[in-house]
Amino acid sequence: MKNKGNLIVISGPSGTGKGTVCKELLKAQPEIVFSISATTRKPRPGEVNGKDYWFLSKEEFQQMIAENRLLEWAEVYGNYYGTPADKVREVLESGKDVLLEIDTQGALNVQKMFLKEGTFIFLLPPSLAELEKRIRGRGTETEEAIKRRLSAAIEEIPRGNNYDYIITNEVVSDVVNKILHIIEAERCAVYNNLDKLVQLENEKV
Protein backbone atom coordinates (compact mmCIF):
# COMPACT_ATOMS: atom_id res chain seq x y z
CA MET A 1 0.00 0.00 0.00
CA LYS A 2 1.41 3.38 -0.99
CA ASN A 3 1.50 5.99 1.73
CA LYS A 4 -0.22 9.27 1.01
CA GLY A 5 1.57 12.54 1.54
CA ASN A 6 0.74 14.89 4.40
CA LEU A 7 -0.90 18.27 4.10
CA ILE A 8 1.18 20.75 6.09
CA VAL A 9 -0.69 23.94 6.86
CA ILE A 10 1.32 26.94 8.07
CA SER A 11 -0.93 29.63 9.46
CA GLY A 12 -1.05 32.40 12.03
CA PRO A 13 -1.92 36.08 12.35
CA SER A 14 -0.43 38.52 9.86
CA GLY A 15 3.06 39.62 10.90
CA THR A 16 4.12 36.24 12.27
CA GLY A 17 6.34 35.44 9.29
CA LYS A 18 4.40 32.69 7.51
CA GLY A 19 5.87 33.60 4.12
CA THR A 20 9.51 33.59 5.22
CA VAL A 21 9.11 30.34 7.15
CA CYS A 22 7.53 28.61 4.12
CA LYS A 23 10.27 29.88 1.80
CA GLU A 24 13.02 28.59 4.09
CA LEU A 25 11.20 25.30 4.69
CA LEU A 26 11.01 24.65 0.94
CA LYS A 27 14.72 25.40 0.63
CA ALA A 28 15.47 22.91 3.41
CA GLN A 29 13.15 20.23 2.01
CA PRO A 30 12.69 20.84 -1.73
CA GLU A 31 10.60 17.67 -2.25
CA ILE A 32 7.67 19.32 -0.45
CA VAL A 33 5.18 20.70 -2.97
CA PHE A 34 4.00 24.24 -2.30
CA SER A 35 0.29 24.64 -2.98
CA ILE A 36 -0.33 27.29 -5.64
CA SER A 37 -3.35 29.53 -5.15
CA ALA A 38 -5.92 30.33 -7.80
CA THR A 39 -6.83 33.96 -8.43
CA THR A 40 -8.93 36.09 -10.74
CA ARG A 41 -6.56 39.05 -10.64
CA LYS A 42 -4.59 39.77 -13.81
CA PRO A 43 -1.06 38.32 -13.98
CA ARG A 44 1.67 40.91 -13.33
CA PRO A 45 4.59 41.07 -15.77
CA GLY A 46 6.72 37.95 -15.34
CA GLU A 47 4.11 35.95 -13.42
CA VAL A 48 3.57 32.47 -14.80
CA ASN A 49 0.33 30.47 -14.75
CA GLY A 50 0.79 27.34 -12.62
CA LYS A 51 3.91 28.72 -10.94
CA ASP A 52 2.93 31.98 -9.23
CA TYR A 53 -0.82 31.44 -9.40
CA TRP A 54 -3.45 29.60 -11.33
CA PHE A 55 -4.95 32.54 -13.23
CA LEU A 56 -8.67 32.05 -13.74
CA SER A 57 -11.55 34.08 -15.08
CA LYS A 58 -14.20 35.26 -12.65
CA GLU A 59 -16.62 32.73 -14.20
CA GLU A 60 -14.20 29.83 -13.81
CA PHE A 61 -13.58 30.79 -10.18
CA GLN A 62 -17.27 31.12 -9.35
CA GLN A 63 -17.86 27.74 -10.97
CA MET A 64 -15.22 26.23 -8.66
CA ILE A 65 -16.92 27.81 -5.65
CA ALA A 66 -20.27 26.43 -6.78
CA GLU A 67 -18.81 22.94 -7.26
CA ASN A 68 -17.10 23.04 -3.84
CA ARG A 69 -13.73 22.55 -5.52
CA LEU A 70 -11.84 25.06 -3.35
CA LEU A 71 -10.40 24.22 0.06
CA GLU A 72 -10.90 27.86 0.98
CA TRP A 73 -11.38 31.16 -0.81
CA ALA A 74 -11.82 34.87 -0.16
CA GLU A 75 -12.61 38.01 -2.12
CA VAL A 76 -10.10 40.83 -1.66
CA TYR A 77 -10.66 44.20 -3.37
CA GLY A 78 -12.86 42.61 -6.03
CA ASN A 79 -10.49 39.75 -6.83
CA TYR A 80 -10.94 36.13 -5.80
CA TYR A 81 -8.16 34.10 -4.19
CA GLY A 82 -8.41 30.44 -3.21
CA THR A 83 -6.86 26.99 -2.92
CA PRO A 84 -7.93 24.41 -5.54
CA ALA A 85 -8.72 21.15 -3.78
CA ASP A 86 -8.05 18.88 -6.78
CA LYS A 87 -4.41 19.91 -7.10
CA VAL A 88 -3.78 19.38 -3.40
CA ARG A 89 -5.41 15.94 -3.42
CA GLU A 90 -3.52 14.93 -6.58
CA VAL A 91 -0.13 15.66 -5.02
CA LEU A 92 -1.06 14.00 -1.70
CA GLU A 93 -2.21 10.86 -3.55
CA SER A 94 1.15 10.74 -5.35
CA GLY A 95 2.74 10.37 -1.88
CA LYS A 96 4.28 13.84 -1.68
CA ASP A 97 3.74 16.33 1.13
CA VAL A 98 1.90 19.55 0.29
CA LEU A 99 2.66 22.87 2.01
CA LEU A 100 -0.13 25.40 2.38
CA GLU A 101 0.52 28.95 3.62
CA ILE A 102 -2.77 30.42 4.63
CA ASP A 103 -4.45 32.95 6.93
CA THR A 104 -6.32 31.77 10.02
CA GLN A 105 -9.75 32.11 8.39
CA GLY A 106 -8.67 29.95 5.45
CA ALA A 107 -7.08 27.41 7.78
CA LEU A 108 -10.40 27.00 9.60
CA ASN A 109 -12.03 26.04 6.30
CA VAL A 110 -9.24 23.63 5.37
CA GLN A 111 -9.67 21.96 8.78
CA LYS A 112 -13.26 21.16 7.88
CA MET A 113 -12.07 19.06 4.94
CA PHE A 114 -8.68 17.79 6.15
CA LEU A 115 -8.88 17.77 9.95
CA LYS A 116 -7.50 14.26 10.33
CA GLU A 117 -5.10 14.25 7.40
CA GLY A 118 -3.71 17.76 7.81
CA THR A 119 -0.92 18.96 10.07
CA PHE A 120 -1.96 22.37 11.32
CA ILE A 121 0.87 24.60 12.55
CA PHE A 122 0.18 27.99 14.13
CA LEU A 123 2.93 30.61 14.21
CA LEU A 124 3.10 33.13 17.04
CA PRO A 125 5.11 36.32 17.37
CA PRO A 126 7.58 36.41 20.30
CA SER A 127 5.64 39.37 21.77
CA LEU A 128 2.97 41.89 20.81
CA ALA A 129 5.64 44.61 20.66
CA GLU A 130 7.56 42.52 18.13
CA LEU A 131 4.36 41.87 16.18
CA GLU A 132 3.73 45.60 15.94
CA LYS A 133 7.33 46.19 14.85
CA ARG A 134 6.98 43.60 12.08
CA ILE A 135 3.67 44.96 10.85
CA ARG A 136 5.04 48.52 10.88
CA GLY A 137 8.24 47.27 9.24
CA ARG A 138 6.42 46.71 5.97
CA GLY A 139 6.18 50.47 5.75
CA THR A 140 3.54 50.47 3.06
CA GLU A 141 0.45 51.36 5.03
CA THR A 142 -1.21 54.29 6.73
CA GLU A 143 -1.23 54.52 10.52
CA GLU A 144 -4.89 53.63 10.51
CA ALA A 145 -4.35 50.53 8.36
CA ILE A 146 -1.47 49.43 10.59
CA LYS A 147 -3.59 49.80 13.73
CA ARG A 148 -6.40 47.83 12.09
CA ARG A 149 -4.06 45.06 10.97
CA LEU A 150 -2.41 44.87 14.39
CA SER A 151 -5.65 44.64 16.32
CA ALA A 152 -6.93 42.01 13.85
CA ALA A 153 -3.73 40.01 14.37
CA ILE A 154 -4.11 40.16 18.16
CA GLU A 155 -7.73 39.01 17.91
CA GLU A 156 -6.58 35.95 15.97
CA ILE A 157 -4.12 34.68 18.58
CA PRO A 158 -6.65 32.53 20.52
CA ARG A 159 -7.36 30.60 17.30
CA GLY A 160 -4.08 28.78 17.97
CA ASN A 161 -6.19 26.58 20.26
CA ASN A 162 -7.58 24.71 17.27
CA TYR A 163 -4.24 23.74 15.76
CA ASP A 164 -2.04 20.68 16.21
CA TYR A 165 1.15 22.60 16.86
CA ILE A 166 2.13 26.06 18.08
CA ILE A 167 5.56 27.55 17.33
CA THR A 168 6.84 30.96 18.39
CA ASN A 169 8.70 32.51 15.46
CA GLU A 170 11.73 33.99 17.15
CA VAL A 171 14.49 32.63 14.87
CA VAL A 172 13.32 31.42 11.44
CA SER A 173 15.87 28.59 11.19
CA ASP A 174 14.68 27.21 14.56
CA VAL A 175 11.08 27.29 13.37
CA VAL A 176 12.01 25.47 10.15
CA ASN A 177 13.92 22.87 12.16
CA LYS A 178 10.91 22.29 14.40
CA ILE A 179 8.63 21.91 11.38
CA LEU A 180 11.02 19.35 9.86
CA HIS A 181 10.77 17.36 13.10
CA ILE A 182 7.00 17.63 13.03
CA ILE A 183 6.90 16.37 9.42
CA GLU A 184 9.04 13.38 10.35
CA ALA A 185 6.88 12.66 13.41
CA GLU A 186 3.68 12.91 11.36
CA ARG A 187 5.01 10.15 9.07
CA CYS A 188 4.87 7.89 12.16
CA ALA A 189 1.40 9.10 13.18
CA VAL A 190 -1.07 6.28 13.69
CA TYR A 191 -3.45 7.41 10.91
CA ASN A 192 -0.57 7.22 8.42
CA ASN A 193 0.37 3.70 9.45
CA LEU A 194 -2.83 1.74 9.95
CA ASP A 195 -2.03 -0.17 6.76
CA LYS A 196 0.97 -1.68 8.58
CA LEU A 197 -1.35 -3.28 11.14
CA VAL A 198 -3.53 -4.67 8.36
CA GLN A 199 -0.49 -5.93 6.48
CA LEU A 200 0.76 -7.93 9.49
CA GLU A 201 -2.77 -9.22 10.11
CA ASN A 202 -2.85 -10.50 6.55
CA GLU A 203 0.36 -12.49 7.06
CA LYS A 204 -1.51 -14.76 9.46
CA VAL A 205 -2.23 -18.22 8.04
* Binding site, annotated residues for ATP: 12-19
Nearer to its own copies, 106 or 160 (CB): 160
Output Rg (C-alpha) for the chain, integer angstroms. Answer: 19
Question: d(Cα 92, Cα 110) in Å, to the nearest integer?
Answer: 14
Residue 97 pairs in a beta bridge with: none
Contact flag: residue 167 with its own copies (CB under 8 A): yes
Site string for its own copies, 79-118 (x = CB under 8 A): ----------------------------------------
Comparison of 36 and 182: residue with beta carbon closer to its own copies: 182
| Nearest of 130, 126, 128, 134 to residue 175 by alpha carbon | 126
Return the number of the residue (48 or 200) whose C-beta is nearest its own copies.
200
Q: Which helix (H) or strand (E) holds 32?
A: none
Among 125, 150, 169, 176, binds its own copies (CB under 8 A): 125
Identify the residue among 31, 67, 143, 201 touching its own copies (CB under 8 A). 201
Q: Nearest distance from residue 73's CB to its own copies, in Å?
A: 26
- Any residues with CB less than 8 A from the CB of 11 and at least 6 apart, and which? 18, 101, 102, 103, 104, 106, 107, 120, 121, 122, 123, 163
CB closer to its own copies, 43 vs 95: 95
SS (H, E, C) 107-143: HHHHHHHHCCCEEEEEEECCCHHHHHHHHHHCCCCCH
How many residues can be counted in the chain?
205
Q: Which of 23, 62, 164, 172: binder of its own copies (CB under 8 A)?
A: 164
C-beta closer to its own copies: residue 74 or 128: 128
Binding site for its own copies (CB under 8 A): 121-122, 124-125, 127-129, 154, 157-158, 160-161, 163-168, 178, 181-182, 184-190, 193-194, 196-197, 200-201, 203-204
